[in-house]
Amino acid sequence: MSTRHTCVPRAGLTVRASGNPSSAEETTLTETERVRGTSTLPRLKPEPIPAIHPLPEYLASGAVKASYDETKRVLQVPWMGVVTMAMAHYPVFYSTLWQKLKPLYESAEFVTACRSLRDKVEHAAQRLCAASLRPQLAERGYGRREIKQIGEMIEIFSHGNMPYLLIATQARLLLEGHALGSATAVHDFERRHRAAATVPLVLMEPHHVDQPTYELYEDIKSRLGLPFVNTDYRALARWPSYFASAWAGLREQVMTDAYAAITEEVHRAAVDIALDLPNPSGISPAQLQTAAADQLDEIIEMERLFQWLLPGLVVNVAFFRAQLLQP
């Protein structure tokens, strides 16, 4: 049985002022910050869910594969997010967005923004009071090394989901007519910031898994209201008994008012950060709308879908992380 740790839900989203995970100083989002994200770009789930066309990495070749490889290299992540795979289905649109904002994505300013966003997400997720899975995993026979490897896999997504959320947010802002920041100066970030893992990223696709895991995938899709299972879940399902327990601890949370409030706060924080980042090439809404051409409405619906689901995904990953942090 899992052991619930003492947890007192907080009334608001608290964030470390420095955006540095090691900082002990905390501040609280101001009412202006809370309102700004919602008024600028409300969180919208498209109804019906639009069709998306992500080309899996293992099927990519030629120019598409080169685009995937560059995206992963610049963001320092080991996987191409479903959001950017779906964007790449529209090559002129994605190439325009990527080439104009690539100098930002390689910058120290972007790395700092991702760290700040992650800090906010993980502080907010504490309000969900995740119960520790460590006793339950130990009882099942998981050793320290295995639990450490699961934690390393979670770290890959804790780190890597932040740039994907900010990219989706910037794309939606531009497509819906919102200008990005007026600053243009950026500074190269030349050091490694990617998450380290001692196990490779292996995805358990629906046709790989046994019936209980397949049913778990179906439950995830039903609970989250999505037609697909995100990369994060397919990677963690490499440890089926662990992931069944992790999802069991989360599945009821996603239906609560507290969870809805937290994901809304994360959405607002992502919008605020995206608007404050430099815009080194000066890309304008008109430029990206022109690149989308006669597919503009279709692409906007796609971006709304991902910009709606990613706040929930990053909160879910933070919850999984908290399950292993607790003694």
Residues 260-268 have a mean pLDDT of: 97
* Residues recorded for the chain: 327
Contact 40, 178 (CB under 8 A): yes
Mean predicted lDDT score pLDDT of the chain: 89
Q: String of b and e for 180-192 (b: at least 16 CB within 10 Å)? A: beeeeebeebeee
* Domain-embedded: residue 93: yes
* Domain-embedded: residue 18: no
The pLDDT-based confidence of 327 (bands split at 50, 70, 90) is low
pLDDT for position 8: 54
* Domain-embedded: residue 117: yes
How far apart (Å, rounded) are the C-alpha atoms in residues 173 and 179? 7
List all residues 6 or more positions away from 218 whose beta carbon is below 8 Å from its beta carbon. none
How far apart (Å, rounded) are the C-alpha atoms in residues 120 and 17? 10
Cα-flanking dihedrals φ and ψ of residue 14, to 5°? Answer: -100, 145
**177-200, pLDDT tens digit by residue?**
999 999 999 999 877 887 777 888
14-16/26-28 β-pairing: antiparallel
Number of domains in the chain: 1
Q: Is the per-residue pLDDT at 37 higher than 80?
A: no
pLDDT for position 9: 52
Full domain range(s) for residue 90: 76-325
DSSP 106-171: TBHHHHHHHHHHHHHHHHHHGGG-PPB-HHHHHHHT--HHHHHHHHHHHHHHHHHHHHHHHHHHHH
* Domain-embedded: residue 71: no
Q: pTM for the full model?
A: 0.88
The pLDDT-based confidence of 212 (bands split at 50, 70, 90) is very high
Q: Is the per-residue pLDDT at 315 higher than 80?
A: yes
* Domain-embedded: residue 42: no
Which parts of the chain fold into alpha helices (H)? 31-40, 62-75, 82-88, 91-105, 108-125, 134-140, 144-175, 211-224, 231-236, 240-251, 257-276, 285-292, 296-325
Task: Tell me the three state secondary structure of residue 16.
Answer: strand
pLDDT for position 7: 65
pLDDT for position 98: 97
pLDDT for position 231: 95
Structure tokens at 232: 């994060």
Residues 123-152 have a mean pLDDT of: 96
Residue type, 91: P
Structure tokens at 2: 């899992």
Contact 252, 142 (CB under 8 A): no
* Domain-embedded: residue 32: no
* Domain-embedded: residue 1: no
pLDDT for position 96: 97
Place of tokens 């780190």: 159
Q: Is the per-residue pLDDT at 123 higher than 70?
A: yes
Contact 245, 137 (CB under 8 A): yes
* Domain-embedded: residue 211: yes
The pLDDT-based confidence of 68 (bands split at 50, 70, 90) is very high
How far apart (Å, rounded) are the C-alpha atoms in residues 288 and 301? 15
Structure tokens at 95: 């190439």
Q: Is the per-residue pLDDT at 33 higher than 50?
A: no
Place of tokens 């779906």: 86
Lowest mean pLDDT segment, chosen from 9-18, 113-122, 255-264: 9-18
**156-178, pLDDT tens digit by residue?**
999 999 999 999 999 999 999 99
